[in-house]
Amino acid sequence: MNNRNKYSIKTQLLSSLLIPLFCLSLLSAAVIYWLAINMSQGIHDELLLSAADSVLARINLVNNKVVVDLPEAAQALLKHHDKDKFYYEISKADGTCVFGENLFPNVAGTPGTMAPICRDDVIRGERVRIAAVDFPMPELNGRYLVVEVAETYNSRNGMAHQILLSVIILQTLFMICGAIAIWFGIGRGTAPLQAMREAIANRNPYDLQPLTIGYAPEEITPLVDAINLVLSQLRSHIDAQARFTSNAAHQLRTPLAGIKTYVGLGAKISKESKVVEIFEKVNGGIDRMTHLVNRLLTLARIERTIAQPGANIILDLNTIASDAITELVSYSMNREIQIDYFPSDAPAYISGDSASLRDLVANLVHNAICYTPENGQITVLIQNSEFIELIVDDSGPGIPLESREKVFERFYRVLGTNVEGSGLGLSIVREIVEAHRGKIELQDSPLGGLRVLVLLNKVYDLNAHSHELKKNEQNLISSA
Amino acid sequence: MKILLVEDDNFLSHGLQMALQETGHAVELSKDGAEADLLLAASTYDLVVLDLELPHMDGLEVLQRLRKRGHSTPVLILTAREGVKNRVQGLDLGANDYLTKPFELAELEARIRALLRKEHWGNQIEIVHGNLRFDPGGRRVYVDEESVDLSVREITVLELLLRRAGRVVNKDQLLDELASQEFELTYNALEIVMHRLRKKLERSQLSIRTLRGLGYVFGKA
């Protein structure tokens, strides 16, 4: 995921579409330019030829000499453009100039073709276009005369520049519009991929439910199906593993009960105080093992909650908490700790696994009792606001800020505490909270110790779950 | 007393057999549900200690069949499965008590004692806690052998608390039970009764504690 930019469908599509588009656009610009130049050249040549014809029309023969009567005004008319210079000349077929300044280079074989032609040449160091028309002159023994007119390239070049500029502007606009269209097109095309990526990225790590991508196109559907297949396999693996853990833990309980029975019996019938003491130590060890076995069971339940969220039911956290705390009252009274419980006024409905949630409350309250000195105070509060809030306050030593994140790690113990425990309590609490997609925070308690704040998602739409609720209420009624 | 112990795990069942024999009970052992069912049909026991996961017949079925035959022999269930649902199911089918494995031997013995006592003398046995003595027959309460003057209502509340000494008694639960004994009380009336009881039992070594949000506990002061 780190080198996410290394290979992007969007960039790849964009480059593989834009490069050919750019080449095509260059080619089409060249073709358009070439066509346009040719056409304009043709039109200009026509005009130049008609100018030559106009000169031809003004030819007179005076005393066997060729005279052209072309006033200044007519000359100006023959020019296409003020920028261009205009020349004309009349010569014999052999190239001898008969009228004009004899500027035109001689081209052998030009006359006699009876066809008007255009050609390029140079006059006074400037590139010119020359149109030549020949005609027979019977008065001059049937010889041909050639009329040549020439104009410089200024206006033709000007037009060529204009055409070039228009083509460039048009093609650039075309490229920009094309790129934008492709960009948006690709964006729309890859939107389901993006949606899928976001759906996966925004997931709670405990959420193994199938992905649902709205309007997944047929190219994406197999991918979504494949991911969902992996997810379902993962779910069944977790479920199988949890089932195994749960069975193993249950299987452990009977031999533990056996050992406890023998140890209890031994302690009872032994007359040696040292032996009794040893039995008591062994019993303490079994209790610790029992504790671990119970933790394993809790973990297995959490995993099954993750693997089968469908098995969750709607519960009132008030009832769960009151049950869990009631079971711990004798322990707290032994330690002379006062527990006050404030349930919420309205039922605190959440969706979850009742045994795990009971473990959650029991673990938090048990921790509070363990770490609170004698004659201390514990308050358990349930609030029904935007979330369902479970707050456990104690008057114990609290947890320093720097250790607050670490206490959630498995087997971490705050240094200097001499309380018995496996160090699994808070890590399990966090896993239960996260399996229920909730949040847990450690804060300072107004009682002077630690405050544990658990936020759980509230069930708003009770109607949607009324069936589950009914089922569950029956369970609660029968358990009361 | 004659106890039938139904447990299929050899290690645990022999330990339990030894321990119960040590306490002076006659223990008969069965490792099979169907066999236990036959034994229960054939002879009478004072108490049954019943595991739930048994070969051939589930413990709950053994219990159900026992009750269907009309026997009121007290049954204590032992199980490796925890959870309210299992407990409720067992108690609904007529079990008298319920212990989750592993348990303290002393706890098992205490529960067996309580069950046998209830069975033989019903609720007529005296309850003694420290210097406080309750005589259910005469419905009298003594502190340091001096009779305490209590109203019928106060005695009824006290008895309910005494029978669950050390455990939390929920207010609603308490009101429900009082209602079933023809005492319709409101929350406030209950608080007044508690207040008076506390005053009258000032000299006893026990006290009624209020656990806010949870209920009352009768225990050591």
* Domain B2-121 classification at class level: alpha beta
Same domain, A330 and A409: yes
Q: Average pLDDT in the A234-247 region?
A: 85
CB contact under 8 A, A286 and B92: no
Same domain, A293 and A320: no
Q: Does A140 touch chain B (CB under 8 A)?
A: no
Bridge partner residues of A135 (DSSP): A145
CB contact under 8 A, B209 and A355: no
Residue A388 within a domain:
yes
Q: Does A256 touch chain B (CB under 8 A)?
A: yes
Confidence tier at A476 by pLDDT (50, 70, 90): very low
CB contact under 8 A, B213 and A380: yes
Q: What is the CATH number of the domain that holds A122?
A: 3.30.450
Same domain, A230 and A327: no
B163 or A326, greater pLDDT? A326
**Where a domain ends, among A250, A273, A307?**
A307
pLDDT at B13 over 90: yes
Is-same-fold flag (B2-121; B127-220)? no
Q: What is the CATH number of the domain that holds A386?
A: 3.30.565.10
Q: What separation, in Å, do the N-terminal and C-terminal C-alpha atoms of chain B show?
A: 36
Of A260, A269, A338, the CB nearest to B22: A269
Q: Average pLDDT in the A26-55 region?
A: 88
Amino acid at A187: G
Same domain, A242 and A148: no
Confidence tier at B38 by pLDDT (50, 70, 90): very high
A416 or A293, greater pLDDT? A293
pLDDT tens digit sequence for A48-73:
888 888 888 888 777 777 777 777 77
Same domain, A328 and A254: no
Domain ranges within chain B, ordered by starting residue: 2-121, 127-220
What is chain A's length?
480
A422 or A106, greater pLDDT? A106
Residue A184 within a domain:
no
Same domain, A349 and A470: yes
Residue A126 within a domain:
yes
Same domain, A134 and A51: yes
Q: Does A268 touch chain B (CB under 8 A)?
A: yes
Consecutive H or E run containing A179: helix A154-201
The pLDDT, as a whole number, for residue A108 is 54
CB contact under 8 A, B103 and A286: no
Residue A355 within a domain:
yes
Q: Average pLDDT in the A302-330 region?
A: 82
- Tally of domains within chain A: 3
CB contact under 8 A, B80 and A250: yes
Q: Does B110 touch chain A (CB under 8 A)?
A: no
Residue A279 within a domain:
yes
Q: Is residue B171 exposed (0-12), middle (13-18) or buried (19+ Cβ within 10 Å)?
A: middle
Identify the domain containing residue A407 by its residue range: 312-479
Confidence tier at A2 by pLDDT (50, 70, 90): very low
Q: What is the CATH number of the domain that holds A294?
A: 1.10.287.130
Confidence tier at B207 by pLDDT (50, 70, 90): confident
pLDDT at A464 over 70: no
Confidence tier at A310 by pLDDT (50, 70, 90): low
Q: Does B214 touch chain A (CB under 8 A)?
A: yes
Chain A hits for B88, CB-CB cut-off 8 Å, are 475, 478-479
SS3 B200: helix
pLDDT at B114 over 70: yes
Q: Does B78 touch chain A (CB under 8 A)?
A: yes
Please tell me the distance in Å from A194's CA to the nearest CA on chain B.
Answer: 45
Number of A/B CB contacts below 8 angstroms equals: 105
| Cα–Cα dist B69/A312, whole Å | 39
Residue A177 within a domain:
no
Residue A463 vs residues A314, A458, A466: alpha-carbon distances, Å: 11, 14, 5
B96 or B128, greater pLDDT? B96
Is the pTM for the entire model greater than 0.80? no
**Where a domain ends, among A161, A180, A196?**
A161
Bridge partner residues of A289 (DSSP): none
Please tell me the distance in Å from A293's CA to the nearest CA on chain B.
Answer: 10
**Where a domain ends, among A127, A161, A195?**
A161
Please tell me the distance in Å from B91's CA to the nearest CA on chain A.
Answer: 9
Residue A241 vs residues A246, A300, A436: alpha-carbon distances, Å: 8, 8, 19
CB contact under 8 A, B166 and A330: yes
**Range B127-220 has CATH code 3.20.20.70:** no
Same domain, A323 and A292: no
pLDDT at A437 over 50: yes
pLDDT tens digit sequence for B146-176:
888 888 888 888 888 887 777 788 888 888 8
Residue A17 within a domain:
yes
DSSP assignments along B108-147, one per residue:
HHHHHHHHHHHHHHTT-S-EEETTEEEETTTTEEEETTEE
Residue A125 within a domain:
yes
Answer positive or negative: Cα dihedral of A427, A429, A433, A436.
positive
